A = this chain, B = another copy of it.
């Protein structure tokens, strides 16, 4: 089959035409997530049609369109369940009806982290393993779980996707948009500036010169032995290590995949998280930790499996 794939993010919407585990064509457009989703549907549709023209086909000739969306979703009904200041009208938009009207093809909606994990499972670093957890380290921290070959979803679409809100500090700081002491409140990009300021070495650190502190800056300065950045990197890796251990104890995976832009520093991150995984209780053997292989294409490459699961 040839499938359309659409990975809707906070900054960009990535579109692809995929077949047999390969991205044939791809493009992206600005997400415009401060505007209603309904306003983005026409440019999105036109971009899909242009993409198909380049490959000498049409959306209507595709087996369907898979959409990854950065929120909790109701997969059965194809509806967005939650809204976090992006695409304020998301929950009111009937995406399957839109795809049916415009192209007469089925649309499958999935949480973005789950769709990226499906892509890595079928075509990337999760191949050959039916018990997987994926952690995506971005502005927020997303997780997804495949357990005995099934995507874990739960009654309300929450199971497995809220690892960023597991509590790793029962006495911890409140964070923006999350519970006190959660992984996100203790390590998300949004929380980084406040955490940095609380560290003793901060005033003498070159971190003070960074206008918008993010992981990239922390890992870059830590690699240059800036003491404040080293301390912040160590604290952040301790939080992520706690997450790894909790995810192993919760979900019984055989492999943990880690994705997100900061995985350019995979050579530092993966060994630390692998060490954490070794301290978890797994009498059956050893959970491996690996970087995702597919980068930005992971969600696009989950499209074919998702459409097959939903409509075959």
The chain A residues found within 8 Å of chain B, CB to CB, are: 72, 81-82, 130-131, 147-148, 152-160, 162-163, 165-171, 178-182, 186, 238-239, 241-243, 245-246, 249-252, 254, 279-284
Instruction: Tell me how far the C-beta of A17 lies from the nearest C-beta in chain B, rounded to whole angstroms.
Output: 33
Smallest Cβ-Cβ distance to A238: which chain B residue: B170
Enumerate 28 A-B pairs (CB-CB under 8 Å) in ascending A order.
Answer: A81-B283, A131-B154, A147-B152, A147-B154, A147-B159, A154-B251, A154-B252, A155-B252, A156-B252, A156-B284, A159-B250, A159-B251, A163-B250, A165-B245, A165-B249, A165-B281, A166-B250, A167-B168, A167-B242, A167-B245, A168-B169, A168-B170, A170-B186, A179-B281, A180-B279, A181-B242, A246-B246, A250-B250
- Among the listed B169, B250, B279, which residue makes an inter-chain contact with A169, where contact means beta carbons less than 8 Å apart? B169
Residues from chain B with Cβ under 8 Å of A181 in the complex: 168, 242
Contact yes or no, B72 A249, CB < 8 A: no
Main secondary structure on A side of the interface with B: loop
Instruction: Tell me how far the C-beta of A73 lies from the nearest C-beta in chain B, rounded to whole angstroms.
Output: 12
When A148-B154, A254-B155, A279-B179 are in contact, do A249 and B166 touch as well, CB less than 8 Å?
yes
Smallest Cβ-Cβ distance to A82: which chain B residue: B283
When A148-B155, A159-B250, A251-B250 are in contact, do A169 and B166 touch as well, CB less than 8 Å?
no
Report, nearest first, the 6 A-B pairs whose CB atoms are least far apart.
A154-B252, A170-B242, A162-B249, A158-B252, A167-B242, A159-B252
Instruction: Tell me how far the C-beta of A90 lies from the nearest C-beta in chain B, rounded to whole angstroms.
Output: 12
- Among the listed B72, B81, B147, B179, which residue makes an inter-chain contact with A245, where contact means beta carbons less than 8 Å apart? B179
